[in-house]
Amino acid sequence: LRPDMAKIKGIMLSKFSCENWEKIWSFQAHPDDLLIATYPKAGTTWIQEIVDMIIHGGDIEMCQRAPIILRQPFIEHHSTLMPSGLKLAEAMPPPRILKTHLPVQLVPPSFWEKDCKIIYIARNAKDSLVSYYHFQRMNKMLPDPGTWQEYFEKFLAGEVPWGPWHDHVKGWWKAKERQRILYLFYEDMKADLAREIQKVMKFLEKDLREEVIEKIIRHTSFQAMKENPMTNYTFLPSIDHSISPFIRKGIVGDWKTHFTVLQNERFDEDYRKKMMGTSLTFCNEL
């Protein structure tokens, strides 16, 4: 059942996405579209739930009745298991909230031409690696990760779906200079969610009362999202929650329970080389 992968401009994507690449590249964005962009496992589902709540003024029922979020799949998503992301997106009236894991250079040009707002979330490399490993274990639409050691090497080589983490976070960081991109960090959201929600509200030009913000914080807490079938993805046939739940641990620093001392040294050395010269930094990055 594990799918074939292929490459577009050196980036590993599903074979189906590659076969449909022309359609994806020519996707027509609308100026009112909001794009949520992330490297996989950075907190995509978390931010999309927050955005949905902000736009609906904290009305949970409205979020369920009139979803404006393309929950699954992503615009670049094509597979035999689920409907095409493009078809789903095209069927939605604007303003749409779309999702992508594409590195910045592969984002359909229409998003830049229409000057769409974009929210990007980055998560530190080591926790991203750990979370991605468990995700590839349980997601039938992604390649089998192999052993932990094998996956560790694949991640460093960028031989994982959507390509290397380092180029992804750096590429989007640079794009922020020229585009309307709100660049957020998973670790900041864990540290002070109210402050990060305020940033999103400002970016979306929304003003909400204090009690509404408190409601959003409760609704998007780790525990609430773990229990919510819309956000824990128990409805997705492609995910085997008996192997690993989708909303798994939700913490900063889980890499410490996975990395060996040697792996950590190897990772840090590689990290310093790849992140040299960028102004982008992560808390607890090494």
List residues with catalytic annotation: 101
Q: How far is the CB of 53 from ligand A3P (least distance, A)?
A: 12
Residue 166 is a binding residue for ligand A3P (CB under 6 A): no
Which amino acid is located at 41 in the chain? K
Closest CA to 42 of 125, 158, 137, 156: 125
Q: How far is the CB of 116 from ligand A3P (least distance, A)?
A: 20
Q: Which residue, 42 or 141, has its beta carbon nearer to ligand A3P? A: 42
Closest CA to 127 of 259, 12, 268: 259
Q: Show the tokens assigned to 262.
A: 């040697």
Ranges within 40-59 binding ligand A3P (CB under 6 A): 40-46
Q: Are 101 and 76 in contact (CB under 8 A)?
A: yes
Q: Are 160 and 154 in contact (CB under 8 A)?
A: yes
User: How distant is the alpha carbon of residue 151 from its chain centre?
Assistant: 19
- By CB under 6 A, which span of 4-12, 63-71, 127-135, 273-281 interacts with ligand A3P? 127-135
Across the strands, what pairs with 119?
36, 182
Ranges within 236-265 binding ligand A3P (CB under 6 A): 247-250, 254
Q: Which residue, 162 or 203, has its beta carbon nearer to ligand A3P? A: 162
**Separation CA 264–CA 255 (nearest Å):** 9
Q: Which residue, 30 or 249, has its beta carbon nearer to ligand A3P? A: 249
Q: How far is the CB of 28 from ligand A3P (least distance, A)?
A: 25
Residue 112 is a binding residue for ligand A3P (CB under 6 A): no
The alpha carbons of the chain give a radius of gyration, in whole angstroms, of 18
- By CB under 6 A, which span of 10-18, 78-86, 153-161, 219-227 interacts with ligand A3P? 219-227
**Any idea which residue has 């974009």 for tokens?**
118
Q: Show the tokens assigned to 26.
A: 């020519």
Q: How far is CA 267 from CA 86, 125, 223, 225, 260, in A?
A: 36, 9, 31, 31, 10
Residue 213 is a binding residue for ligand A3P (CB under 6 A): no
Q: Select from 71, 134, 166, 168 the one that contacts ligand A3P (CB under 6 A).
A: 134
Q: Which residue, 82 or 114, has its beta carbon nearer to ligand A3P? A: 82
Q: How far is the CB of 108 from ligand A3P (least distance, A)?
A: 20
Q: How far is the CB of 144 from ligand A3P (least distance, A)?
A: 18
Residue 139 is a binding residue for ligand A3P (CB under 6 A): no
**Separation CA 82–CA 73 (nearest Å):** 8
Cis peptide before 73 (omega within 30 of 0): yes
- Residues that bind ligand A3P in the complex, under the rule CB under 6 A: 38, 40-46, 127, 131, 134, 220-222, 225, 247-250, 254
